[in-house]
Amino acid sequence: MEQPRKSKRNMARWDLDKVRFKLEKPQPPHREIRSIDTILQQVMDGLEQPQSEHILLLRDAWPKLVGPQIAKHSSPGFIKDWTLYVRVNHPGWLPEMKRNNSVIFKKVKAKYPTLPIRRMLFILDK
């Protein structure tokens, strides 16, 4: 772990190490080496798109609307152009969700009639 910038240095130790190891400036702090994949993943996790209030409301109620089995494999993604996009996590669940599209849509509209949606589409989210 890197030391804070305003930490006190042991100057006597530095003078000894400078002579012993023939150093011109203090050694940099020890930092943990990480792969670029882990760094980028942390950055991408922090860049989550802002969610509308409607989507947050639907995400909370989704297991009650569709049931726990379907809720494990799907979640409301976003609303765009009067369309609710539902993310499905496995290609095998796409035909099942499309087959139950009208039932799920009627449940959503019955529970939340003021939501700005006119149809639902299912997209594969890997």
pLDDT for position 11: 74
| Positions in the chain whose pLDDT score sits under 50 | 1
Establish if 2 belongs to a structural domain: no
Residue 23 φ then ψ, to 5°? -100, 150
Nearest to 23 by CA among 31, 38, 13, 33: 13
Shared domain for 57 and 98, answered yes or no, is yes
pLDDT for position 30: 75
Q: How far apart are CA 41 and CA 38, in angstroms?
A: 5
For residue 48, CA distances in Å to 16, 22, 43, 44 come to: 50, 48, 10, 7
pLDDT for position 8: 66
Shared domain for 61 and 102, answered yes or no, is yes
Shared domain for 35 and 93, answered yes or no, is no
pTM exceeds 0.85 for this model: no
Establish if 66 belongs to a structural domain: yes
Alpha helices in the chain (DSSP H): 11-21, 36-46, 53-66, 68-73, 93-99, 101-111
pLDDT for position 120: 94
Establish if 24 belongs to a structural domain: yes
Residue-wise pLDDT for 48-83, tens only, equals 666 678 888 999 999 999 999 999 999 999 889 999
